[in-house]
Structure 1
Amino acid sequence: MSSIQSVSTKQKKKRIKAVHQKLRVFRAKEPLLGIIMWGVNHSRINELSLVNPPVMLMPDDFKAYSKIRIDNHLFNKENMPSHFKFKEWCPLVFRNLRERFSVDEDCYMNSLVKHCPTDIDSPGKSGARFLISHDRKYILKTITTEDVAEMIRILKDYHQYVVEHHAETRLPHILGMYKICINDTDTHHVMVMKNVFSAGFNIHRKYDLKGSTVARQASEKERAKELPTLKDNDFLSEKTSIHIHKDDKAKLIKILEADSTFLASLNLMDYSLLVGIHEVNHPSNFVDEDDEEEDDEDLEQEDENNANDSSMFTTPPSSPRIRTESDGDYVYEYEPDQNDPGYFAIKSNDKSPQPVIYFMSLIDILTRYGVKKKTAKAAKTMKHGAGAEISTVKPDQYAKRFMEFIDRIIVVD
């Protein structure tokens, strides 16, 4: 009898110890990035793959969202927080938009999931954070709750506009919108868009143009950067022009007029035309053969070192030649297509001072002309005078001035 009690006592004292997971599933420098990668993967594999694309989107699809809460205990804690939420806004709508913008679902997921997005410079005053996918196809931007509300407000109109114009638009190609909450306290909203600049072409000059001249020049801090984002007054003072063919200008102006009219109809203003310029004959586009041989030797040595460390993660440099981690214990080199500049590109005409490729798209389209902007307009008008070209004006007036400026700075052959 005593022996039976002894065995029973030992069984009661037995404890099960939690085993720490050692496999690094979603490598990231911080929880936010890990959750974005995990969430996009979860949405694509566990949710959207199980739902057939509807024949037509219904009104409820523009209000829908998917949401998951994860509560882990001692599981993968080296890479992911123990408690987090991931929310995807209007999954079916954004999947349809990705299809309209010719974005393959598997490629979209692989671009955001297989390798950690990395930070890029943010020139704006909003404090938004910008990240880029490892293959440079997509931009991830943190946005405010007001931006989320505005995007949801215009989403149905935005989708209809894209459909009616067969995706021929210079509006941002918005592909997804997510909300991440870490440990119930740290909340982020992230929007995913197509990268305006092609992965295979270095950008040598960059401008943010609104058609306004009041306080529209880059700061000294911005100018000190390797690739500053210059503004309207910088563009004009440099006597810069956009040199493209007559047919290209007519097509671009037609698209931008439709886009700006659409934004004005939604009471939106304060957007910009982002212009990136790739100089075809720029020295940085050419690699010396001796330097290339040395680079190849360095790459081979890195491959040997990386093969011994499967947990290593390398961030991509700014050049088109990108090194990143693959699915095994090896490292491969990503070579972007340098023959396809992408939808946002237009080649210069024969009268251009030098051969260049222009990348142009509208950005920052979610500013509504509400009480805040009306107050700002009154204050700026009192400070600079009624005739000053301030950026804060009514949407229809903003669109008209914006198009006049763009038409003026484009020179045809």
Structure 2
Amino acid sequence: MPGYSSINLSCGDVCPEADTVQAALCLLCLPAQKHTHHTTIDLDFCRVAPQMPGSSGTAQSMKKTIGHRGVETTTGETTYKKTTSSALKGAIQLGITHTVGSLSQKAERDVLMQDFVVVESIFFPSEGSNLTPAHHYSDFRFKTYAPIAFRYFRELFGIRPDDYLYSLCNEPLIELSNPGASGSLFYVSSDDEFIIKTVQHKEAEFLQKLLPGYFMNINQNKRTLLPKFYGLYCVQAGGKNIRIVVMNNLLPRIIPMHLKYDLKGSTYKRRASPKEREKAVPIYKDLDFIQDLPDGLLLEADNYNALCKTIQRDCLLLQSFKIMDYSLLMGIHNMDQASRERERGVSNSGDSAGSEGAVTPDQRRPQAQKSLYCTAMESIQGEARGKGALDSEDHMGGIPARNNKGERLLIYIGIIDILQSYRFIKKLEHSWKALVHDGDTVSVHRPGFYAERFQQFMCNTVFKKIPRKYACAGVFQYAKGNAHEEEKKQPHEEAFHLYLHTNIQSY
């Protein structure tokens, strides 16, 4: 029939045992003409579980997996590579305590090229040793990658060794519900400063190769939305390697997020699943954003320009390393909605960290000693620190914005999932998808095109600029003083709606 793909089943192209290389070779079996949406075969082979020879392809055999992440059937506890989450958290804290302590005994010096490839290892027997304490977990080995280099990164971002230890090791780590389909485990420190994520071997390997370029980039430009990498470690337990990376926490749990988005600039299958929508605060995607916020998020001109410049600079760096398939993670705190909820006695409508609830701010350290450039606002206007431009009491680290209703928003953003290189596997995946869909809409694309499409979507669709004359009229003056007072709020609303009645689409 016209418009349908003809697949020869005898060639092995859809054989249950066909791997991705075989699947790519089977592109020769497809007609040369461009296929339409009538094609019925699911070519998303990267997410289909392998089947045994002769299997019938039942729903069970096609069930999606969650990588190495599982759940103990008896206790219900999360496991990763058959290691329980509690044991993994304990091993991480013991290992980091030891490695940071031993690193403090080494003299400060400049970072050398060989520092990026150094790997230190220490064995933790359960009965303890002359170097390690006794513990109630199984024996494990802890590896630290590039300790000198990561110490430099932490210092550059204003994180002192004792603060790093206090945040990660003083209180139990909090496990977060997995927001994606990668099967990774996520932990957050009790003071909300750091995120710990398990990564695959290839991702850890790629980060190691990326370190010299990352070092060069953050020395040249500290204003970045890229992840702040603070440490790369490996726990060897039960014959398995569990690699973890420590990063900055983009979405603070102390601030309820009323909306969350994972944006790529793609429209192919970029809508939150029904299962995701059942969550208290789902993570929506590109098509959801276009539907929910067709007018985008409205920013003051200076913030808009700084944000788009930062995105452009970050994308250029990612493109130079042939990195693609990254996302912009965005949390939106609606200040007006939060005010209404407080009046109704609703203490925590958002659930930005699963079911753990909000935490109280860490008062042990002065704010000035917290990690530098760790918030969204600081990431785009880092050098303004100390000049009066940044006031945490005004915006709590978020970027002030408005929606098309005139409601006051705080936006928390960062670029995530940058450890994906456009290698052979991604080229194959794009070739498959481009056969049956518009190649410009799929998220897996060549790095140059991906970066350009990402920038265009963020700066033309997601974020839009309020002309300075309307900002000066009072649209964004709510960040100063008590914006909840009606006599101060009313002129701002009038100025905002005056702008809305002009041609918003031109921006």
Q: Same fold (TM over 0.5)?
A: yes
Aligned mates of 1:60, 1:190 — CA distance in 2: 22
Q: Give distance in 2, aligned partners of 1:30 and 1:48.
A: 26
RMSD between aligned alpha carbons?
2.8
**Aligned pair 1:404/2:460, yes or no?**
no
Q: 1:111 aligned to 2:167?
A: yes
- TM-fit CA distance, 1:80: 3.1
User: TM-score of the superposition, structure 2-length normalised?
Assistant: 0.64
1:209 alignment partner, one of 248, 259, 263: 263
Alignment CA distance shift 1:384-1:105 (3 Å): same
Alignment of 1:42-121 (within 5 A): 42-45=98-101, 47-54=102-109, 56-73=110-127, 80-121=136-177
Report the equivalent of 2:240: 186
Q: C-alpha deviations, 1:245-290, integer Å up to 9, x for none?
A: 1111111111111110101100110000111101112247865799
Contact 1:98 1:104 in 2 (8 A): yes
* Pair 1:390 & 2:445 matched: no
**Aligned partner of 2:243: which letter?**
H
CA distance in structure 1 between the aligned counterparts of 2:237 and 2:394, rounded to whole angstroms: 39
Identity %: 29
User: Matches of 2:403 and 2:338 in 1, distance apart?
Assistant: 21
Q: Which moved more, 1:351-360 or 1:115-124?
A: 351-360
> Against the structure 1 CA distance between its residues 171 and 285, is the aligned structure 2 distance closer, same or farther, given a 3 Å change threshold?
farther
CA contact 2:126–2:134 (8 Å) conserved in 1:
no
Question: 3-state SS of the aligned residue for 1:269?
Answer: coil
Find out whether 1:196 has 2:196 as its counterpart.
no
Q: Distance in 2 between matches of 1:208 and 1:29?
A: 26
Task: Pick closer, same or farther for the CA change 1:102–1:340 going to 2, 3 Å.
Answer: farther
| Secondary structure of 1:119's aligned partner | strand
SS in 2 for 1:367: coil
2:357 maps to what in 1? 318
User: TM-score normalized by structure 1?
Assistant: 0.77
Tell me the number of residue pairs that the alignment of Structure 1 and Structure 2 aligns. Answer: 345
Residues of 2 paired with 1:397 and 1:342: CA distance? Answer: 35
1:244 to 284, 299, 304: 299
The residue type paired with residue 390 of structure 1 is V
2-side partners of 1:171 and 1:385: how far apart? 29
Partner of 1:24: none
Q: Whole-Å Cα distance in 2 between the matches of residues 223 and 373 of structure 1?
A: 28
Query: Is residue 2:380 matched to residue 1:380?
Result: no
Displacement of 1:342 in angstroms is 6.1
Answer with 263-272 or 99-108: which moved more.
99-108
SS of residue in 2 equivalent to 1:139: strand
Note the C-alpha offset of 1:198. 3.1
Q: 1:171 aligns with which of 226, 245, 258?
A: 226
CA deviation map 1:205-253 (0-9, x unaligned):
1000000001101100001011111000000111341211111111111
Name the counterpart of 1:277. Answer: 332
Whole-angstrom distance in 2 between the partners of 1:170 and 1:133: 21
Q: Any unmatched runs of 5+ in structure 1?
A: 1-27, 293-314, 324-336
Query: Residue type matched to 2:103 in 1?
Result: L
Give the Cα–Cα distance (whole angstroms) in 1 for the partners of residues 346 and 224 of structure 2.
41
Q: Using the alignment, how far apart are the partners of 1:90 and 1:104 within structure 2? A: 17
Question: For the residues of structure 1 that align with 2:357 and 2:403, how far apart are their CA atoms?
Answer: 29
Shift of 1:339: 2.5
| Closer, same or farther: CA 290–256 of 1 in aligned 2, 3 Å | closer
SS in 2 for 1:382: helix
- Deviation string 1:10-62 (CA, Å, 9 cap, x unpaired) is xxxxxxxxxxxxxxxxxx962110011111111122x11101221x2111100
Q: In 1, distance between residues paired with 2:332 and 2:100? A: 35
**1:316–1:322 contact (8 Å) kept in structure 2:** no
Residues 211 and 402, structure 1, Cα contact 8 Å, conserved in 2? yes
The match for 2:406 is: 353
Whether the 8 Å CA contact 1:62–1:156 is kept in 2: the answer is: yes
Tell me, yes or no, if structure 1 residue 142 matches structure 2 residue 195.
Answer: no
SS at match of 2:178: coil
Between the aligned partners of 1:200 and 1:384, the Cα distance in structure 2 is: 41
Change in Cα spacing, 1:73 to 1:98, as seen in structure 2 (3 Å) is: closer
Structure 2 vs 1, CA of residues 52 and 406 (structure 1 numbering), >3 Å: closer, same or farther?
Answer: same
Query: Deviation string for 1:317-368 (max 9, x for gaps)?
Result: 3223489xxxxxxxxxxxxx9737566x211159762011001110000111
Matched letter for residue 359 of structure 2: P
Of the three residues 269, 287, 307, the one matched with 1:233 is 287
Amino acid at match of 1:172: P
The separation in 2 between residues aligned to 1:122 and 1:317, in whole angstroms, is 13
Q: Does the 8 Å contact 2:127/2:135 carry over to 1? A: no
Which deviates the most, 248-257 or 350-359? 350-359
Match of 1:258 among 287, 305, 313: 313
Which residue identity is paired with 1:230?
Y
In the alignment, the residues of structure 2 paired with residue 79 and residue 322 of structure 1 have an alpha-carbon distance, to the nearest angstrom, of 30
* C-alpha spacing 1:164/1:285, structure 2 compared with 1 (3 Å): farther
Q: 1:62 to 1:285 in 2, by over 3 A?
A: farther
Give runs of aligned pairs for residues 281-292 of structure 1, distance below 5 A: 281-283=336-338
Aligned to 2:19: none
Cα distance in 1, alignment partners of residues 168 and 319 from structure 2: 33
Superposition deviation, residue 121 in structure 1: 2.1
Q: Any conservation in 1 of the 2:178–2:186 contact (CA below 8 Å)? A: yes
Q: Match of 2:418, SS?
A: coil
